Structure 1
Amino acid sequence: MKTTEKISGIQLSLLVFSFIAPTLILVAPSLMEKIARQDAWLTIFPGALIAALNVWIMIILSNRYPGQTITQYSTQIIGKWPGKFLGCYFLYYWLNFDFIILNQHIQFINTVFLIRTPSVIVSLTLALICGIAVYMGIEAIARCNESLALLIFTLLIPLLFLMLAESDPERLRPVLSKGVVPVLQATVFPLAYLTQFIILGWLLPFLNQPKKATTFSFISLLIISGLFCITILPLIMMFGPLTKKLAFPVLSVIQYIGIEGSFERLEAFAVAIWVMGCFIKVSITFFIICISIAHLFNLKSYRNFVVPLTILSVIGSVSIFVNYSTELASYLRNTYPSYAFFTHFILPLFLLIIDTIKRRWKKSVP
């Protein structure tokens, strides 16, 4: 499959930001606080270091196989059929990921905004818009995201300042009261999101300036990590131990500010941030799934799969869990972190190690 679609370095950086940041900020804090408690904010530092290694791995692989996605160069690294099998695994992973994100979207919207709206309607409206965006191509998604990412910043930054006004720094003490082990254990939760830089394996081939991939990728990581750190700090300083009991802690903070402050119904800002982030996240996931299918079966166009995928996504999102709240929370807490770390980090690392050994072996053979 050949394509002339291209995105700029800034667009790549903003796409990665919108893909990772909103769900990381709105979902991860409560999971981290259950283990690390008031030290949950410290998990961002080891998490960012491993995420930086994840970015480096994806860029090295992309530089070695320019113009190819991870689905394509996997067959060159580990062989045709093992590579196809790995490509099928990635396809399965992203389909499951797609269902989970849409299911989270259903739960968030039904909790905050449209309580009595049927789940299938909530899922269908987002999936349709995302399907249209993917059919238009990655360039269209990237251009749309330029405005959406700016809006996310515009809505989020003032909220952070309002949160600081209600914060009590004493709730951050004592620091490391139970040592560094709980912090390292809780790091698995932000890592599950920060290592989503694996999407570079499908986006970098569309970058119009491949030499700037490293710069813009690490800029994204720096912005996401910094924003997450300055978000979780006020959360702990406001709610302390209550943070772990909240499904969407940032939403609870915004609702609290809306009651106590000068403004009302500020949770609409959280809904806007969530919907914009989910739109980009689901659109990119759709895009990855479609081009993965095209590359696996050597097809000319990925657009033929957009409509079937949209229908399948809606069905999967409303049927993946019987009890949305408890089963989704259990999945995000117990299953997703290790599953994501294996897929996002271990598998690309495995490919890089195999490729490096093969290259050195070829050089050593006369």
Structure 2
Amino acid sequence: MPAQIQIINHRQFAWLIASLLSGGGLISIQHELIRLGRIDAWLTYLFPGLYALLIGFVLTQLARRFPQKHLFEITTIVFGRWIGTCANLLILVHLWMVLMRDLRAFGKFIGTILLPNTPQEILVLLFVLLLAFYGRTSVEVVGRVNDLFFPFFFVLLLSMPFLLSNELDTQLIRPALTVKPVEYFYANVLGIGWFGDILFVGAFLHTIWSSKQIRSAFRHGTLIATFLLTLSLLLQVLVLGPVIPGHMVYPNYSLVQHIHITDFLDRVDLFILSIWYPITACKDILLYLAMLTGIASLLKERDYTSINSPVSLFLLLTTLLAFDSAAEVFSFGNYSSPVIILGYQPLLLAALLLFMRKYPVRELRLDQAQSGTPSPGKQQEQPAQGRSDATTSSRFISRIECIRHSTWITAGNVLLLLSACLVFLGIWLGMTYAVVGTLSGIGYAICLVGAVVTSHMEMRAAKKFVVRHSSQT
């Protein structure tokens, strides 16, 4: 593959990350977060979001040193053949368990809400057939499908406060930040069990040429998902209260059922499910393609179409045999996932950061991109004065774009740090001074929205920088 050809762009990559983190988290864990965090449950995505950003940082550093390589290939290079293979097998086993969890959870949801008379085996079989169909394609196809539905999904969740405006009660979230620190910590740990799935996106690092775009996409996708899930939890508490959703199996679906547009349009939930379903499907297809990529890397291949059928059959059989009831599915997804993730991911990430330092950065350095040096052929065609003017102008524009990109990154980091400080301040003083907790909660919401905006501007600045660098080289 040529060095400057990419399969998906940074926007598609960011939206796939957002779908990965927000698709399944809307139905499986939010009742547990409300049970622990109660009126402050909507603030419990702080640590999971920061943890996902940390994983994105590590994967970006790997992409800088190993361009056109995905995570499984990089792990083998960094750790060697035997240790790298063991690390890849560990990631694949975790990925396999995540897919089993999602398939059974999705089957239980559809069987409970839409098709109660359909056997669970049939629902899982149909979804596995969908995975097998997309297993013959590439992440480019999934990215384009996700491009069609994610904007509708995003706008739909943004419109939920207006659709539920007659059901909102702000008294239900007051006083803010009065949860016990231990319970707040436990709720954040549960969220890490779902946000840790972002590691599997490393299987597609080779699909984007520039590591700057990879970093911006990780930040933007993670912050979008954090914002959407936070908004969903906030609406559940505002409409259903801090107690009732904790005893519901699918509180988010119950929230949707409260939407009534006039007196005759009261089944809006069917329309919303028609948009949510493709997002969840893209999430699981992405994980399935990551699993195929990892297995193919063990065979030192990148073409995984030949193993698509046996892997899908193995996934179907193990999924049907893994769980006996819905309680086991939810217990495994909500309580076992954090243990599995925190049991190996921090150690793996720390080892990758440590051992990758002996490999130099292979992409073009920032100072070289700023120099704006034209190619030798173009130097011979232009006069000396014209060449000097063009070089000076290109260097000046590149420096401005670099400053803009760095400014948006800094602004986003400051907002994230400020949001964390506000939460800690509110937990510390919220029980004594209610106004401090309320202002801290409002400040957290403002900082989160600002971080999403800055990540979007960072993506735009990264695109302009990469496009100018490509035209210069």
Q: Which runs of 5+ in 2 are unaligned?
A: 361-473
**Larger deviation, residues 275-284 vs 253-262:** 253-262
Contact persistence 2:29–2:334 (CA under 8 A):
no
Which whole-Å CA distance do the structure 2 matches of 1:139 and 1:352 have between them?
Answer: 29
How many Å apart are 1:60 and its aligned residue?
A: 1.0
Asked if 1:13 corresponds to 2:44, the answer is no
Amino acid at match of 2:266: E
3-state SS, counterpart of residue 322 of structure 1: coil
1:140-171 CA distances to partner (integer Å, 9 max, x unpaired)? 11111110212322443333432343121111
Amino acid at match of 2:124: S
Which whole-Å CA distance do the structure 1 matches of 2:61 and 2:168 have between them?
Answer: 42
Indicate which of 274, 277, 299 corresponds to 1:275.
Answer: 277
Contact persistence 1:9–1:208 (CA under 8 A):
no
1:267-326 CA distances to partner (integer Å, 9 max, x unpaired)? 213432442122112211111111111111213521111111222222222221011x11
Contact persistence 1:195–1:345 (CA under 8 A):
no
**Larger deviation, residues 302-311 vs 173-182:** 173-182
Q: Which residue is 1:256 aligned to?
A: 258
Amino acid at match of 1:67: Q
Which whole-Å CA distance do the structure 1 matches of 2:272 and 2:347 have between them?
Answer: 33
Q: Which residue is 1:302 aligned to?
A: 304
Q: Which residue is 1:224 aligned to?
A: 225
Amino acid at match of 1:18: S
Asked if 1:121 corresponds to 2:118, the answer is no
Q: Which residue is 1:364 aligned to?
A: none
Q: Which residue is 1:315 aligned to?
A: 317
Q: 1:260 to 1:196 in 2, by over 3 A?
A: farther
Q: Which residue is 2:213 aligned to?
A: 212
Which whole-Å CA distance do the structure 2 matches of 1:43 and 1:164 have between them?
Answer: 23
Which whole-Å CA distance do the structure 1 matches of 2:111 and 2:27 have between them?
Answer: 15
Asked if 1:69 corresponds to 2:70, the answer is yes
Which whole-Å CA distance do the structure 1 matches of 2:332 and 2:205 have between them?
Answer: 30
Larger radius of gyration: 2
Which whole-Å CA distance do the structure 1 matches of 2:13 and 2:118 have between them?
Answer: 35
Which whole-Å CA distance do the structure 2 matches of 1:231 and 1:164 have between them?
Answer: 14
1:28-75 CA distances to partner (integer Å, 9 max, x unpaired)? 221111212111111122332222222111111221222212211112
Q: Which residue is 1:363 aligned to?
A: none
Contact persistence 1:291–1:302 (CA under 8 A):
yes
Which whole-Å CA distance do the structure 2 matches of 1:148 and 1:90 have between them?
Answer: 29
Q: 1:359 to 1:286 in 2, by over 3 A?
A: closer
**Larger deviation, residues 102-111 vs 202-211:** 202-211
Q: 1:259 to 1:313 in 2, by over 3 A?
A: farther
Q: 1:158 to 1:310 in 2, by over 3 A?
A: same
Amino acid at match of 2:142: I
Q: Which residue is 2:377 aligned to?
A: none
- The number of equivalent residue pairs is 358
3-state SS, counterpart of residue 8 of structure 2: coil
Superposition pairs for residues 1-366 of structure 1, below 5 Å?
6-239=7-240, 240-258=242-260, 263-299=265-301, 301-323=303-325, 325-356=326-357, 358=358
Contact persistence 2:68–2:209 (CA under 8 A):
no
How many Å apart are 1:98 and its aligned residue?
A: 1.2
**Larger deviation, residues 15-24 vs 103-112:** 15-24
1:108-138 CA distances to partner (integer Å, 9 max, x unpaired)? 1001001111112211222222222221211
Which whole-Å CA distance do the structure 2 matches of 1:46 and 1:82 have between them?
Answer: 30
Provide the alpha-carbon RMSD of the alignment. 2.4
Which whole-Å CA distance do the structure 1 matches of 2:165 and 2:185 have between them?
Answer: 26
Which whole-Å CA distance do the structure 2 matches of 1:164 and 1:259 have between them?
Answer: 11
Q: 1:236 to 1:262 in 2, by over 3 A?
A: farther
